[in-house]
Amino acid sequence: MAGIHLHPHDILDEGIENIYRHLAKMGHIKTLFPQVNTIFERNPNPIGHLPHNPVHPVVMGNGKLYAPIDPQSVSPRLYQVGDQVIQDHDPLQMLLDFNQAQYQVIPWVNIFNGQFAGEIQENAIYDFRGNIVKEWLCPNSPDVLPMWTKTLRLLAEKYGFHTFMIDRIRYPDWSGKHINPQELFTCFCSHCQSKMKHQGIEPKQVILEMEQIASMLKKNDFQIAVDTYLQSTFIQNWLRFRQNSITQFVQSLQHQTPELTYWIDLWPPAYSWILGQDYQELTKISKTLKHFPYHKLGGGADVQGFIEYFAKDEPTQEAAYHAFGQLFNLPFKQTYQEFKRFGFPIQFVQAENLKARILSQPGTFIYSGIQMWNISNEHLSEAIQAGRSSEADDLIYYCYGWAELRHFKVIESLTDS
């Protein structure tokens, strides 16, 4: 019994009755994952329009909280900005009122990325050149854990939630509003630097190594850059430091809120390690995870944006794509031109689910994400079948509002068969 992701604008613009009518067509949905706070994502991403939204053809995510609680009252030093609209239109409450236990409802919360206010400079992520990474919070900063402890409690009390899906429990990747690979080289805030030193890691040496890798990339020496990245002890220690920082944050959050259960949203294993996500350790804390092996889009990563940031002509792009494949240990023999036309091959879904199974603690429930937009009917059913025959336990569809109505029918036809 699968799940599907809902955005606040789906509920506010379409109304719950409409949504439930479409969901009924899918046949096998058990769990709804309504987003509590948005990210800075174009809906739909990266192009197109919302096919069944009667109000907005496109919605730009604003990183705000869509629940009429007052997080500033419990956490004045740092809090997420709330969207004005929700005072009389509370999408979570509208959903719960209509639902009457028909579906399981697991609220989806983005942790380190969003529009926050208060002591931002004290809690932000900083890159290796000392630039603040906008709208990202550091797991080692002082106010983030207390903020989320109190905010999640407020949400749990208001709506009666016991379980949350927590997403963006990671460091920034290279894409967001703009492509910026520099954001992969974080965090060097004062809190991280002193914690690193305490653990015998000298931040200056890590930064020096990163400067060298950056200059290799600038000269299009992609292979040397990747080899240096993978072989450098400084980089490896720093990667481990980041993974430990994320794990410790989730551990502390669980410790502070023992009454709540957390499901975790991770990147597929091919990429998770570079963003600070350690499947083995995180699944000691959480028994349910979701990852998104979007095979057509490169596993959720903006691979094309990354390659074309560095490489402008075709031969250089091929070299960059080859090095990218080496960095993330992707075994595909396809060219960059093939990737641009077809995306990753379908084997990516099964390969990443197998890795997720091997890396996770025994008994972990694994959801495999299914891309439900910007995809042909044929590729959608291929992805569903690949997900079902993989090591994953079930599927989560992403996402309701972006999917065309014909996609609901495809899923229904597969359910009946």
Q: Does 207 bind Zn ion (CB under 5 A)?
A: no
Question: According to CB under 5 A, which one of 192, 213, 301, 323 is a site residue for Zn ion?
Answer: 192
User: Can you read off the two tokens belonging to residue 216?
Assistant: 């290799």
What is the β-pairing status of strands 124-126 and 116-118? unpaired
Nearer to Zn ion, 192 or 323 (CB): 192
State the minimum distance, in angstroms, from the CB of residue 124 to Zn ion: 8
Question: According to CB under 5 A, which one of 50, 147, 187, 226 is a site residue for Zn ion?
Answer: 187
The 114-153 site mask, x for binding Zn ion (CB under 5 A), equals ------------------------x-x-------------
Nearer to Zn ion, 138 or 270 (CB): 138
Question: According to CB under 5 A, which one of 11, 19, 189, 320 is a site residue for Zn ion?
Answer: 189
CA angle 43-23-167, nearest 5°? 45
State the minimum distance, in angstroms, from the CB of residue 186 to Zn ion: 7
Could you tell me how many residues of this chain bind Zn ion (CB under 5 A)?
5
Nearer to Zn ion, 203 or 269 (CB): 203
State the minimum distance, in angstroms, from the CB of residue 119 to Zn ion: 14
Residues 409, 263, 99, 69, CA torsion sign? negative
| Residues in Cβ contact with 105 at an 8 Å cutoff, skipping those fewer than 6 apart | 31, 32, 34, 95, 96, 99, 161
What is d(CA 82, CA 69) in angstroms, rounded to the nearest whole number?
Answer: 8
State the minimum distance, in angstroms, from the CB of residue 166 to Zn ion: 19
Nearer to Zn ion, 189 or 396 (CB): 189
State the minimum distance, in angstroms, from the CB of residue 208 to Zn ion: 18
Interacting residue ranges for Zn ion, rule: CB under 5 A? 138, 140, 187, 189, 192
